[in-house]
Amino acid sequence: MAYTLSDFEPMITRAQLEKRVRELGSEITGSLDRGPENLVAVGVLKGALVFMAELIRHLPPQITCDFLRLSSYEGGTESTGTVRFDFDLTQPIGGKDVLVIEDIVDTGLSMTFLMKALEVRNPRSIRLCTLLHKPARTKKKVKIDHLGFTIEDRFVIGYGLDYEGRYRNLDHIAALRPEVANGKSRLKNDP
């Protein structure tokens, strides 16, 4: 059964997102010990697109940006547990400080796969910045260096997160209403 926007309720407001993204930008900038020109911000598509666009506005202009895309769904709403690259970085990261920017970490499977795949490319450092973390769903613990918000185990949309490709462009985070979730099948955002 398909969900509509009315099946969701606000969880994190636009104002809360703006404030926290600004704080994350300051936190990340303050941690750059080799200068911003060595930093490569790596966005994990598609979900991190909006978050990354907002975050890099609060980072020094000398950084570089790149993107990659992972897949583990094979068209469904539940992870297959097998992660693969749909496409990869376009620039080498050897000797660079890499900041992985993700929309949500819940099971940790995708991030474990990604961090290991990036480590073999010999970056100077790798750090993870995620907008959301759902610790209740953790299967593989992942070190999160910069965290926006910890949330309960609810299916969320907006600010880059989607349901069947829709609602990424909401300016806030919305969660599936509990009464809807209890009456319909549960959805998961990310492995």
Q: Strands 146-150, 125-133: parallel, antiparallel or unpaired by DSSP?
A: parallel
Beta partners for residue 125, in sequence order: 97
Letter string b/e over residues 133-142, b meaning 16 or more CB atoms within 10 A of that residue's CB: bbeebeeeeb
Nearest to 160 by CA among 189, 118, 124, 122: 189
Q: Which two tokens mark 98?
A: 């890499």
| Full DSSP string of 10-49 | EEE-HHHHHHHHHHHHHHHHHT-SS-GGGEEEEEEETTTH
Q: Which amino acid is at 62?
A: Q
Please count the other Cβ atoms lying within 10 Å of the Cβ belonging to residue 10: 13
CA triple 50-78-2, angle to 5 deg: 75
Is position 97 annotated as part of the catalytic site? no
Q: Which of 97, 103, 106, 190 is catalytic?
A: 106
Residues marked active site are found at: 106
